[in-house]
């Protein structure tokens, strides 16, 4: 089947928080199209509007202005709202906040139960989600006894049991140790490759962002960069002005360019940087 060109499409979407004395425009006229099967990393400083934007995509928030379309639906009534929430799943930063059940199985069954899925079908979905995430052995365990990385895998399985088209991770690796982070990213990568599930990973880790097909940078509620990791991160001056890091090797090449040893900066991985440096040395 041909991938769906526009899974999510936002048109001039804005969101203003009105609940404090100074209304805050957290998302400012973002227009963006996301295809089925894309693996996107979303970056931005603290308070730049990433979480607000993510919540607009799965109809946890409704835009103050503009439009969010998921396939052909906008969250204008309850039915369409559920259509969207079912397809765009989200996992958050703190794995403890996602635990609902007393066993892993219960936790994963919760979503499809809420969607009104039949009991026998729920059983199948739970088993399949546990297999897909590689945690079938945790089925009967108490979620609060698991490690952070295991809890986040349960979170992914719980979303998978709703048969989503897209999973948004809002800094879901930030409380994990390096191994837990690596394992979670591997699971997500496989779901993206095998099941063509669209991934939007909101992260502060540059090395996670370099794994994505597309990097989007949000600053002050607006998109300021959107391209491949190489296109985005080799813009060293712009990225550092925003207050974000670029990969260390890119920074090294940038210094080599500033000192006249290189003409352009075009590497974001160690392998690419190695090739460029060997060329200089020869």
Q: Which of 28, 37, 49, 133 binds ligand ATP (CB under 6 A)?
A: 49
172 binds Mg ion (CB under 5 A): no
What is the DSSP code (8-state) at residue 73? B
Tell which one of 48, 51, 173, 210 touches Mg ion (CB under 5 A).
51
Please give the Cα distance from 39 to 167 (Å, whole number).
Answer: 10
- Site size toward ligand ATP (CB under 6 A) is 13
Q: Does 51 bind ligand ATP (CB under 6 A)?
A: yes
CB 51 within 8 A of CB 202: yes
Q: Which of 46, 72, 119, 279 binds ligand ATP (CB under 6 A)?
A: 46
Cα 110 to Cα 40: distance, rounded to the nearest angstrom: 27
Within positions 26 to 45, which residues make up the interface with ligand ATP, using CB under 6 A? 26, 44
Q: Which of 17-25, 127-135, 193-201, 242-250 is the region at the interface with ligand ATP (rule: CB under 6 A)?
A: 17-25
Q: Give which of ligand ATP, Mg ion, none residue 19 binds (C-beta under 5 to 8 Å, depending on kind).
A: ligand ATP
User: Per rule CB under 6 A, is residue 279 in the interface with ligand ATP?
Assistant: no
Structure tokens, 47:
């308070």
CA pair distance 210, 270, nearest whole angstrom: 11
The answer to whether residue 155 forms part of the interface with ligand ATP (CB under 6 A) is no
What minimum distance in Å lies between the beta carbon of 239 and ligand ATP?
16
Please identify, among the stretches 19-27, 50-58, 130-138, 187-195, the one whose residues bind Mg ion according to the rule CB under 5 A.
50-58
| Torsion sign across C-alpha atoms 223, 229, 235, 238 | positive
Q: How far apart are CA 253 and CA 274, in angstroms?
A: 10
Name, in order, each residue with C-beta under 8 angstroms of 113's C-beta and a sequence gap of 6 or more.
122
For ligand ATP, the closer CB: 19 or 72: 19
Q: Rounded CA gap, 204 and 225, in Å?
A: 15
Minimum gap (Å) between residue 199 Cβ and ligand ATP: 17
- Contact assessment for residue 165 and residue 72, using Cβ atoms and an 8 Å cutoff: no
Beta carbon nearer to Mg ion, 88 or 126: 88
Considering the rule CB under 6 A, would residue 82 count as an interface residue with ligand ATP?
A: no
Under rule CB under 6 A, residue 149 binds ligand ATP: no
| 3 state DSSP class of 177 | coil
Measure the CA angle with vertex 35, ends 75 and 133; round to 5°.
90
Q: How far is the CB of 241 from ligand ATP (least distance, A)?
A: 17
Residues that bind Mg ion (CB under 5 A): 51
């Amino acid at each position: 089947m041909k991938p769906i060109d526009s899974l999510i499409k936002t048109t001039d979407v804005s969101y203003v928080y009105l609940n404090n004395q100074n209304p805050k425009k957290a998302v400012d006229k973002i227009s963006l199209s996301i295809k089925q099967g894309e693996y996107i990393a979303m970056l931005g400083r603290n308070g730049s509007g990433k979480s607000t934007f993510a919540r607009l995509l799965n109809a946890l928030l409704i835009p103050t202005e503009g439009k969010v379309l998921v396939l052909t639906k906008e969250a204008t009534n309850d039915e369409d709202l559920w259509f969207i929430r079912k397809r765009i799943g989200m996992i958050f930063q703190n794995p403890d906040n996602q635990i609902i059940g007393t066993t892993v199985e219960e936790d994963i069954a919760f979503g499809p139960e809420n969607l009104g899925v039949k009991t026998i079908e729920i059983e199948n979905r739970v088993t399949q989600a546990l297999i897909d995430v590689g945690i079938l052995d945790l089925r009967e365990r108490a979620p609060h006894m698991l490690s952070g990385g295991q809890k986040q895998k349960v979170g992914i399985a719980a979303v998978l049991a709703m048969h989503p088209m897209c999973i948004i991770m809002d800094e879901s690796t930030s409380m994990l140790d390096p191994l837990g982070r690596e394992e979670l990213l591997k699971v997500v990568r496989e779901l993206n490759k095998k099941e063509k599930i669209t991934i939007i990973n909101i992260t502060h880790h540059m090395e996670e962002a370099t794994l994505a097909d597309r990097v989007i940078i949000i600053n002050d509620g607006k998109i300021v960069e959107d391209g491949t990791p190489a296109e985005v991160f080799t813009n060293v001056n712009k990225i550092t002005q925003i207050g974000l890091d670029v990969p260390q090797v890119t920074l090294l090449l940038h210094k080599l360019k500033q000192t006249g040893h290189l003409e352009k900066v075009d590497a974001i991985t160690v392998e690419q940087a190695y090739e460029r440096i060997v060329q200089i040395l020869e």
